[in-house]
Structure 1
């Protein structure tokens, strides 16, 4: 395992490098900020990057996506003192392969790093449970949103069903961009009658203007707009 270290504290870097090399892990090089990290990762080509979050010139979180986009095979593990959900979830969302806290002892750190070789995501104790809780919460939100969408769709279908045949004709012609006068000529009705039907359509569909009517018809695949030839 060839590792690159990114942290702005020189003393910490020296100690971490000594620790890793003592346990047979090669340290390919170090960087003190995100800009150096982006430059050196291209030449060092490490297997793993141990990346701090708060550094001069930018957050380590901002370096995750650019590195992953250029070198997706490189595994990025955050090694930080930030034990908060916001940074944890954001790191995982951006593509980090692990999240470790600096309060780990040496044996725990080495053991967790070696789990990368088995394709696992190294996480400090307790973080996995928090991630699972967050994933469960997001899944529940998606289910709720899906239920709301289905209920809204059912409500729209019910409202459309309340339109008369003539009103559906007017609705389709309005959706094609025709003026009230043009629709009246096509249907053999007065412009005033077309306006009356539009008022009823807006009321039933709970819309406010012609633009919303056009958007509604375009959105609802259940309403077929027949082009007038």
Structure 2
């Protein structure tokens, strides 16, 4: 995984760079503002961009829009100290693939980040339910066919229950004593059933339509 780091604090960049390198993750470049971020992305074509939100001038959400406009397939994860609903919503509206916090434990941060290789959308676990209140789906004009809880199999309900608690595919597999590939299969089937495209939309849709019992 090749990563581009974007943050206007030099110490943060250096700290993240050394930490990720120590975990065998390649940092191919760094940027301290939106213009540098776009230029670096064009030159380096990283697999993932870790983007701070609060930066001098053009913030990380605006920078995300800039990159996504020219490179729609760019995978950008917000890495920030902000965990309010407004920034969370704005980030996903701008096209971010995930939302992680600088206050996360290193192990949890790495687990979420590397989960992208398995097709997961990284999001700090305790922020998942905030999506219920503010998240606007990417395809606002698409009418989704609402299925009630009884239309789901017991296994699908179990998978959704754990997914809405912020567990990764691997953690769900361990808890349900399944293979990780089986969990991915169930998620794929659910995405198809509801006409959704990613894990974040599935979590939001599940909570909004009360498809599982909330704890």
Q: Which TM bucket (shorter chain)?
A: 0.5 to 0.7
- SS of 1:54 mapped into structure 2: coil
Cα displacement (A) at 1:126 = 1.3
Contact 1:89 1:131 in 2 (8 A): yes
Match of 1:41 in 2: 41
- SS of 2:125 mapped into structure 1: coil
Match of 1:113 in 2: 113
Contact 1:3 1:27 in 2 (8 A): yes
- SS of 1:88 mapped into structure 2: helix
- Shifted more, 25-34 versus 58-67: the winner is 58-67
In structure 2, C-alpha distance between the alignment counterparts of 1:105 and 1:135, rounded to whole Å:
25
The aligned length equals 139
- Shifted more, 126-135 versus 9-18: the winner is 126-135
Cα displacement (A) at 1:135 = 4.6
Match of 2:69 in 1: 69
Aligned 1:4-83 pairs, distance under 5 A: 4-83=4-83
Match of 2:132 in 1: 132
In structure 1, C-alpha distance between the alignment counterparts of 2:51 and 2:135, rounded to whole Å:
24
The structure with the largest alpha-carbon Rg is 1
Cα displacement (A) at 1:76 = 0.3
In structure 2, C-alpha distance between the alignment counterparts of 1:110 and 1:20, rounded to whole Å:
9
Cα 1:131–1:43 change in 2 (3 A) is same
In structure 1, C-alpha distance between the alignment counterparts of 2:72 and 2:135, rounded to whole Å:
23
Structure 1 segments, 4+ long, off by >3 Å, are 133-136
Contact 1:20 1:27 in 2 (8 A): yes
RCO higher in 1 or 2 (8 Å CA, sep ≥ 6)?
2
In structure 1, C-alpha distance between the alignment counterparts of 2:17 and 2:74, rounded to whole Å:
19
> Aligned-residue CA RMSD in angstroms?
2.0
- Shifted more, 126-135 versus 32-41: the winner is 126-135
In structure 1, C-alpha distance between the alignment counterparts of 2:73 and 2:93, rounded to whole Å:
17
Match of 2:185 in 1: none
Higher helix fraction (1 or 2): 1
Contact 2:85 2:134 in 1 (8 A): no
Could you list the runs of 5+ residues in structure 2 that have no partner in the other structure? 137-142, 144-215
In structure 1, C-alpha distance between the alignment counterparts of 2:19 and 2:51, rounded to whole Å:
16
Cα 1:82–1:135 change in 2 (3 A) is closer
